[in-house]
């Protein structure tokens, strides 16, 4: 059979038309499918938005019932056939506890531990919940706050009227009924001895919730403080500190933990001693005095060839034994054992306040510096490591993984401005290594202590190492800050290391920060959980520190004086 080209073209035209039409139909199907998907997504988004509005209205009505005068309220719940509302009686948990650091040992009391419960809207992977007096949205692993919970902090006063949700109907229809189920006053509670104002301790508030990240952000926003996240357990904690103890360094040596102690233990030709000077008047050689007082919330031991050229104040036991000497008064709270020499009076007192830990401050400073710093503006730091050899830093903020000086000198030129050095792990100085501070500004060295040096310490000056402030032993110019588990050692051998500055690492009530001085000299002051001044250890207290704030004013340690906590229960049912 034979066809001409024209015949072939005529008979093939319908096939081409079919192909074109097929492509048009397929393309139209894709457009229709994509349009339908977009429409579904838009509808879901609108439904979630309407749910947020409805949950915010439920929040308002629930507050009227839980905290106001209304016995009951009803609210509409907007949704589609693809969304649901339900009650989860066990969703989330809030714990509030208070630690009394004046007790020996410190005691922690749980004021409240309650399941929050929640009214939950779900549409696919989108979830909106009313929980703890706030409204939250979660999508995947993230969450945002839609309206805030009942948590108010202002002027050192925390008001926490917690709202908890319960319901016998696990699923809800288009309307919800809210009814009151009683209120429990948690704090203050005169009968339980829980009264305002608080005089000591820390208050921890922990929320375990699917929305814990948003709770944490709200804590940070509301209090201007820190939130501590436990991602493994979906929880967050904020800590409020009752102002206790001085934030000035008023003693040569201060131990802040009731379970801690100060020990002076010299021997033979290597005495252990505290005394004083005043850098605002002159260096140690021209202003030496006998105000090397030691203070602790725990015990004090002065033994062997040791001398406190000053007074002793203890929140617990005092022992002065052997050749131990205290040139001024001794004050103790529980027991005394005086076999050595006390030149002043010996009397009993009611106690000694400790000082709150500064873990939040140290963590925040190191975290901030790791993100924003002046490392790149200097030729002394490569990445997050100090370059080898002698180096110089000018005013600014610097971040280091560790600060190791093995024979090198780090010169810090403040020029009258402050210098911040944030260290992730540790500081180690030996073999004639030196930090030298020039100018009139302050150097603040924050050591987070994620790891220790090979010697096992967070801060270690070994044998021949120094921290030298070039202005008349002015200790106010160099500050080392550590957390409540900080471990510092300054020790000599045939040579005597010298440290000019302040080590400030209060342990709070339960921490175990320690500082040891052995055959070394410190000009300034020490604050830690426990302090040991061993053979040849000399601490010269700088009286110029008495009016100097240890913690800068712009830090975010959250103060608490008045506490108001209650649990307000509501029932939510369908109808």
Cα distance between residue 512 and residue 38, in whole Å: 59
Indicate whether 9 pLDDT > 70: no
pLDDT of residue 4: 39
The string of pLDDT tens digits covering residues 94-111 is 999 987 755 556 678 999
- For 181, half-sphere exposure in the C-beta direction (CA atoms, 13 angstrom radius) is 15
At residue 230, does pLDDT exceed 70? yes
**Residue 223 C-alpha from the chain's centroid:** 12
C-beta separation of 355 from 244 below 8 A: yes
Q: From CA 424, how far away is CA 404, in angstroms rounded?
A: 12
Q: Report the distance separating Cα 244 and Cα 129, nearest Å.
A: 39
CB atoms under 10 Å from CB of 174, counted, come to 11
pLDDT-derived band at 561, boundaries 50, 70, 90 = confident
Give the residue from 347, 316, 308 showing the smallest Cα distance to 331.
347
Structure tokens at 162: 């917690």
Tell me how far CA of residue 28 lies from CA of 14, 34, 39, 40, 109, in angstroms. 21, 10, 16, 18, 68
- Residue 108, both tokens: 């922690």
Which residue in 487, 513, 503 sits closest to 445, CA to CA?
Answer: 503
pLDDT of 359 reads 80
Q: What is the mean pLDDT of residues 234-248?
A: 76
How far the first Cα of the chain sits from its last, in Å, is 82
Q: Which of 306-310, 318-322, 446-450, 547-551 has the lowest mean pLDDT?
A: 547-551
Q: What is the pLDDT of residue 39?
A: 42
Segments of 401-510 assigned E as strands: 403-406, 409-413, 419-423, 427-430, 433-438, 443-447, 459-462, 465-469, 478-482, 487-491, 498-504
Mean pLDDT, the chain, rounded, equals: 87
pLDDT of residue 552 exceeding 90, the answer is: no
Give the pLDDT confidence score for residue 311 in this predicted structure: 97
CA dist., res. 456 & res. 451, Å (int): 9
Percent with pLDDT over 90 in the chain: 64
Domain boundaries, the chain: 67-243+560-574, 253-547
- The 8-class DSSP code of residue 316 comes to S
Q: Which of 47-56, 178-187, 391-400, 524-533 has the lowest mean pLDDT?
A: 47-56
Identify the pLDDT of residue 556: 58
Q: Average pLDDT, stretch 386-412?
A: 96
pLDDT value, residue 211: 95
Residue 182 has pLDDT above 70, yes or no: yes
Model confidence pLDDT, tens digit, residues 52-90: 999 999 999 999 999 988 999 999 998 777 889 999 999
Q: How confident is the model at residue 416 (pLDDT cuts 50, 70, 90)?
A: confident
Please tell me the distance from the alpha carbon of residue 292 to that of residue 276, in angstroms, as a whole number.
5
Question: CB of 291 within 8 A of CB of 541?
Answer: yes
Calculate mean pLDDT across residues 470-480.
92
DSSP 8-class letter at 417: S
* pLDDT number for residue 199: 67
Any bridge partners for residue 521, and if so which? 498, 538
Q: How many residues does the chain have?
A: 575
Quote the pLDDT of residue 554.
55
CA 436 to CA 392: how far, in whole Å? Answer: 9
Comparing 220-234, 304-318, 435-449, 483-497, the range with the smallest average pLDDT is 220-234
123 close to 115: Cβ distance less than 8 angstroms: no
How high is the pLDDT of residue 79? 77
Q: How far apart are CA 394 and CA 418, in angstroms?
A: 9
pLDDT, residue 351, reads 84
Tokens of 521: 């000299």
């Amino acid at each position: 059979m034979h066809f001409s080209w024209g015949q072939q073209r005529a008979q093939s035209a319908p096939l081409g038309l079919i192909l074109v039409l097929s492509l048009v139909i397929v393309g139209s199907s894709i457009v229709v499918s994509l349009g339908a998907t977009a429409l579904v997504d838009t509808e879901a988004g609108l439904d979630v938005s309407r749910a947020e509005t409805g949950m915010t209205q439920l929040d308002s009505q629930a507050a009227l019932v839980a905290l106001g005068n209304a016995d009951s309220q009803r609210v509409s719940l907007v949704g589609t056939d693809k969304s649901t509302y339900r009650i989860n009686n066990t969703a989330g948990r809030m714990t509030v506890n208070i630690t009394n650091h004046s007790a020996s040992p410190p005691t922690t009391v749980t004021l409240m531990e309650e399941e929050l419960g929640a009214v939950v809207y779900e549409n696919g992977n989108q979830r909106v919940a009313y929980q703890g007096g706030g409204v939250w949205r979660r999508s995947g692993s993230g969450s945002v706050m839609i309206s805030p919970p009942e948590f108010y902090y202002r002027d050192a006063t925390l008001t926490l009227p917690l709202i908890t949700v319960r319901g016998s109907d696990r699923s809800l229809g288009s309307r919800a009924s809210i009814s009151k189920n009683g209120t429990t006053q948690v704090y203050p509670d005169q009968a339980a001895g829980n009264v305002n104002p608080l005089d000591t301790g820390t208050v921890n508030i922990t929320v375990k919730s699917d929305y814990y990240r948003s709770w944490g952000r709200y804590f940070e926003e509301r209090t201007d403080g820190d939130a501590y996240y436990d991602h493994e357990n979906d929880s967050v904690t904020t800590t409020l500190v009752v102002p206790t103890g001085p934030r000035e360094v008023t003693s040569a040596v201060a131990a802040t933990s009731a379970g801690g102690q100060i020990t002076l233990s010299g021997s033979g030709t290597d005495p252990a001693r505290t005394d004083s000077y005043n850098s605002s008047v002159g260096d140690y050689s021209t202003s030496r005095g006998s105000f090397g007082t030691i203070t602790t919330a725990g015990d004090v031991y002065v033994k062997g060839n040791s001398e406190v050229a000053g007074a002793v104040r203890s929140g617990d036991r005092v022992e002065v034994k052997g050749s131990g000497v205290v040139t001024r008064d001794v004050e103790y709270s529980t027991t005394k054992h005086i076999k050595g020499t006390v030149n002043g009076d010996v009397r009993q007192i009611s106690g000694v306040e400790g000082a709150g830990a500064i873990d939040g401050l140290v963590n925040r400073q190191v975290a901030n510096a790791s993100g924003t710093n002046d490392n790149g503006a200097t030729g002394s730091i490569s990445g997050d490591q100090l370059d080898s050899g002698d180096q110089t830093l000018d005013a600014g903020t610097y971040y280091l993984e560790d600060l190791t000086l093995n024979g090198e000198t780090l010169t810090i030129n403040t020029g009258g401005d402050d210098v911040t050095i944030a260290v992730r792990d540790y500081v180690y100085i030996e073999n004639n290594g030196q930090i030298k501070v020039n100018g009139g500004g302050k150097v603040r060295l924050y050591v987070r202590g994620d790891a220790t040096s090979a010697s096992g310490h967070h801060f270690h000056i070994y044998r021949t190492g120094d921290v030298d402030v070039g202005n008349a032993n002015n200790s106010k110019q160099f500050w080392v800050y550590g957390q409540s588990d900080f471990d510092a050692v300054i020790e000599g051998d045939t040579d005597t290391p010298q440290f000019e500055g302040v080590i400030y690492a209060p342990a709070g009530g339960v921490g175990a920060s320690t500082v040891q001085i052995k055959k070394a000299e410190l000009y300034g002051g020490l604050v830690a959980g426990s302090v040991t001044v061993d053979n040849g250890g000399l601490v010269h207290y700088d009286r110029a520190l008495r009016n100097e704030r240890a913690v800068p004013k712009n830090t975010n340690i959250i103060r608490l004086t008045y506490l108001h906590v209650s649990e307000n229960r509501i029932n939510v049912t369908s109808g």
